[in-house]
Amino acid sequence: MTKISSFNVIMAALLVSSVTATQRNVPRLRLSYKDLLSTNRSSIFSGHHGQLTLTSVFLDEYRDRLFLGGKDVLYSLMLGPTSTESKELYWPPLPGNRENCIQTGKDPQTDCANFVRLLQPYNRTHLLACGTGAFQPMCAFVYVGHRGEHVFTIDPVNVENGRGKVPHDPSFRFASTFRGGELYTGLTADFLGRDSVIFRSMGGRSTMRTETDQKLLHDPKFIAAHVIPDNDDRDDDKVYFFFTEKASEPGDREGAIHTRVGRVCANDVGGQRVLVNKWSTFIKARLVCSVPGPHGIDTHFNQLEDVFLLRTKDERNPDVYAIFSTISNVFQGFAVCVYRMADIREAFNGPFAHKEGPDYQWGAYEGRVPYPRPGVCPSKITNQPGREFGSTKDFPDSVLQFARSHPLMWRPVFPALRRPVLVQANIPHKLQQIVVDRVEAEDGHYDVMFIGTNVGTVLKVITIQNGNSLETEEVTLEELHVFKVPTPITSIHISVKRQAIYVGSPAGVAQVKLHRCETYGKACAECCLARDPYCAWDGFTCAQYTPNNKRRYRRQGIRHGNPALQCVDQNLSDVDVTEDDVVYGTENNSTFLECVPRSPQASVSWLVQRDDRKEEVKLDDRVMATEQGLLFRHLLHEDEGVYICRSREHGFSQTLVRLSLQVLQGDAVDELMSRDNAGFSDSIKERSAGSYRAWMPCTAYRSGTSSHSRLWFKDIVQMIGPSNLPHVEEYCERMWCNDKLRRKHKSMLEKYRQAQESARKARSKSSGERNRMPRDLKARDV
């Protein structure tokens, strides 16, 4: 077994950075788009014409179907166990509307089409679909048939006015929910996008809306709407809206925004003399998501990005998961806060915010609140003999007046434990969408969060409470590169039944399985280190954990991820590599010993063994540890020895690689090069024939500020000759940093990888199957 690896040096330099220990926010596993497709973890649908401008999704768990809305188009996907069958409907704007839209100066591509924004189940056979209709919102009923049949038709003539159901402008956010044949929507409902309002439409009752008043809604952006019952009395059902708006409270600078939870009673029919067909039960409270900062000043995350209701057996008390952001010139941060319904109700049952006049301070209203208290629904409780308030039309004028002037509650809603469950700051992407799955594990339940970013990735994250302390540990289990190119994720839906998420982006929709335990490895220790609540070691493999399975071996260590505890009687030595590979290097030249742990969270250390004595490798300018392995920039004869790469994660160490490094003199190299060695010769010849430069990484050269890059820069100079120093920069730019060469790097890397793969196969054939870590080079920066 031989291997020449000095030319990997450049690859290593691509990723030069000091080896770092466990880091916050570093995912335990990164899975590329290709990884996900090749393991059947993910599949992508991007429409029948290769491009789907996805604007709405409805996951129909009962029918096992996924309905998609796009630009002038609707899709129905039948979600089978293996394949997916799709049907398409063309649904353009009504005749003439596209032309009218263009005439008003709107953009023909991004405005003047029918962007389908709303897909809701309507009755047992039909969906309600609403689209922007080229700035003329319209709705139609889509026939989808009963469970089991795959029918999908629309009557394009029989459309209804969609005003108040979806915004005119396809780029505006809105939120809606359907209950009892009626649609509740928070949106801007006019052509100019100025009329911000909560609407109720459809069904038999007259349309309801909020009064136009900045006290009620001040430039709101609606994020989510949900019906959440208060008790068994359906008359007490309330519709909750989650939105941001301009702050009116004191202490906030001009233009500050706050996040609100607002609600109306589902049976609100407005007042008799005042508030006719206007909400009489609308109240709102502030949602706070903040972390304590230095000097007692909290960092507030005010901008709501997404809301997910984690429903439990108790339908009255779902957990409200919300992503927030705060973005300024100096700081970009994201947080996930969880709210309990009990805390939201308590704020609504507390004092109203009150201001005596424009020159007064805000405070808690301390006067007498009229009966029935604003925000209370007409129900069994209000409809007692002697005090008969069976409908909001029976409410006294004093109640309606008070409701109109006091929509805001004095006390804000704080998250559970008064702090976010997750905070990420100054990360290179934005967190935009969230769904959560509550998973039973060996030591209790875990809420697994799937968080969509603006760059086409989904993060699978858990937070672990350490003992009784408030300290939480965030663990990013996986970073899934769901889409081929960076694209903002605009929706995520979860099907616990199908154990999958459906991830929407302008590029299409991806079905991604919640877990794939085999990915973590073939040993108990690796399964334990994964800390994935979905997975456990069953004695033979890393497999899905099922709570009621009575198998004897079931090992899971989410809280501590400590395989030494969990896998004590399992064969730990299985994962250790015991055999040596031989690597040749040339004296006075550079050489690279590759070693990549499966998890970026593992820390790597190098030992060298000479005459049965092991010692740590001394690192300096000449011998550097990189993310991909050990780099000798200038090999000396005394470097010979057996190099042992060990990884450490959560106190668990294992040997990943043992390499016997042999240092050759010049002549020996020439001899070796002439041998055809497992397909390596081409690459070597290419390099020795003077195309060394083609291997040079633009990226490594460009990020020229870190000390490592500077070292690398020195290597470049050495290679092209010091006399040209002033021109090096220009030269590098021209030689290495153009697209053609970038492509060439790529194809060379591909060739190299194939050669390595076949060499690996040859090796494992000759040495028998050994359980070891993959050592493929990753071309992340090329």
Ligand X SMILES: *[C@@H]1O[C@H](CO)[C@@H](O)[C@H](O)[C@H]1NC(C)=O
Residue among 466, 666, 704, 738 that touches ligand X (CB under 6 A)? 666
The CB-of-209 to ligand X minimum distance in angstroms stands at: 23
How many C-beta atoms lie closer than 10 Å to residue 392's C-beta?
Answer: 26
Under a CB-based contact definition with an 8 Å cutoff, are residues 480 and 458 in contact? yes
**Residue closer to ligand X (CB basis): 217 or 517:** 517
Residues 107-130, buried b or exposed e (16+ Cβ, 10 A)?
A: eeeebbbbbbbbbbebeeeebbbb
Q: Which two tokens stand for residue 142?
A: 């889509």
- For position 312 contacting ligand X by CB under 6 A, the verdict is no
The CB-of-66 to ligand X minimum distance in angstroms stands at: 19
- DSSP for 254-302, written as a single string: TT-EEEEEEEEETT--B-SSSSBTB-SS-EEEEEP-EE--GGGPPEE--
The CB-of-721 to ligand X minimum distance in angstroms stands at: 13
**Residue closer to ligand X (CB basis): 433 or 590:** 590
**How would you classify the pairing of strands 175-179 and 196-201?**
unpaired
d(CA 216, CA 651) in angstroms, rounded, equals 55
Residue among 18, 20, 23, 39 that touches ligand X (CB under 6 A)? 39
**Residue closer to ligand X (CB basis): 82 or 705:** 82
- For position 84 contacting ligand X by CB under 6 A, the verdict is no
Under a CB-based contact definition with an 8 Å cutoff, are residues 664 and 639 in contact? no
Distances 559 to 445, 533, 553 between C-alpha atoms, Å: 11, 10, 18
**Residue closer to ligand X (CB basis): 42 or 281:** 42
Taking contact as CB under 6 A, which single stretch among the options 94-102, 441-449, 582-590, 694-702 is the one that binds ligand X?
A: 582-590
The CB-of-671 to ligand X minimum distance in angstroms stands at: 11
- For position 587 contacting ligand X by CB under 6 A, the verdict is yes
Mapped onto helix, strand or coil, the DSSP state of residue 647 is strand
**Residue closer to ligand X (CB basis): 721 or 726:** 721
- For position 395 contacting ligand X by CB under 6 A, the verdict is no
d(CA 750, CA 101) in angstroms, rounded, equals 50
The residue written with tokens 């928070």 in the block is 186
Residue among 17, 18, 573, 691 that touches ligand X (CB under 6 A)? 573
85-91 long-range contacts, CB within 8 A, separation 24+: 85/150, 86/45, 86/48, 87/150, 87/152, 88/47, 88/48, 89/142, 89/152, 89/153, 89/154, 91/116, 91/129, 91/131, 91/140, 91/154, 91/156
Distances 146 to 124, 138, 176 between C-alpha atoms, Å: 7, 25, 24
Distances 251 to 358, 362, 518, 665, 701 between C-alpha atoms, Å: 15, 10, 53, 74, 48
Residue among 182, 252, 343, 574 that touches ligand X (CB under 6 A)? 574
The CB-of-716 to ligand X minimum distance in angstroms stands at: 14
- For position 580 contacting ligand X by CB under 6 A, the verdict is no
Under a CB-based contact definition with an 8 Å cutoff, are residues 521 and 87 in contact? no
d(CA 522, CA 773) in angstroms, rounded, equals 10
**Residue closer to ligand X (CB basis): 37 or 737:** 37
Q: Restricting to residues 497-556, name those near ligand X by CB under 6 A.
A: none
- For position 40 contacting ligand X by CB under 6 A, the verdict is yes
The CB-of-150 to ligand X minimum distance in angstroms stands at: 18
d(CA 489, CA 702) in angstroms, rounded, equals 30
**Residue closer to ligand X (CB basis): 31 or 408:** 31
The CB-of-584 to ligand X minimum distance in angstroms stands at: 10
The CB-of-757 to ligand X minimum distance in angstroms stands at: 17
The CB-of-565 to ligand X minimum distance in angstroms stands at: 18
d(CA 665, CA 655) in angstroms, rounded, equals 30
Q: Restricting to residues 191-230, name those near ligand X by CB under 6 A.
A: none
Q: Restricting to residues 89-128, name those near ligand X by CB under 6 A.
A: 122-126
d(CA 199, CA 226) in angstroms, rounded, equals 14
Residue 302, burial from CB neighbour count under 10 angstroms (0-12, 13-18, 19+): buried
How many C-beta atoms lie closer than 10 Å to residue 650's C-beta?
Answer: 19
**Residue closer to ligand X (CB basis): 182 or 587:** 587
For residue 345, what is the enclosing H or E element? Answer: helix 341-349
CA geometry: angle 562, 564, 570, nearest 5 deg: 120
**Residue closer to ligand X (CB basis): 39 or 110:** 39
- For position 589 contacting ligand X by CB under 6 A, the verdict is yes
The CB-of-187 to ligand X minimum distance in angstroms stands at: 23
The CB-of-636 to ligand X minimum distance in angstroms stands at: 8
- For position 707 contacting ligand X by CB under 6 A, the verdict is no
Taking contact as CB under 6 A, which single stretch among the options 298-306, 395-403, 585-593, 706-714 is the one that binds ligand X?
A: 585-593
d(CA 18, CA 708) in angstroms, rounded, equals 8
- For position 674 contacting ligand X by CB under 6 A, the verdict is no
**Residue closer to ligand X (CB basis): 141 or 241:** 141
- For position 586 contacting ligand X by CB under 6 A, the verdict is yes
The CB-of-589 to ligand X minimum distance in angstroms stands at: 4
- If we measure between CA atoms, which residue out of 411, 404, 382, 385 comes closest to residue 395? 382
The CB-of-573 to ligand X minimum distance in angstroms stands at: 5
Q: Which two tokens stand for residue 25?
A: 């926010």
**Residue closer to ligand X (CB basis): 455 or 668:** 668
Taking contact as CB under 6 A, which single stretch among the options 218-226, 411-419, 568-576, 618-626 is the one that binds ligand X?
A: 568-576
Q: What share of the chain is helix, strand, coil (3-state, %, to 5)?
A: 20, 35, 45
Q: Restricting to residues 675-704, name those near ligand X by CB under 6 A.
A: 688
Residue among 18, 153, 214, 571 that touches ligand X (CB under 6 A)? 571
- For position 82 contacting ligand X by CB under 6 A, the verdict is yes
Query: By rule CB under 6 A, what count of residues binds ligand X?
Result: 20
**Residue closer to ligand X (CB basis): 143 or 331:** 143
Residue ranges binding ligand X (CB under 6 A)? 39-40, 82, 122-126, 141, 571, 573-574, 586-589, 665-666, 669, 688
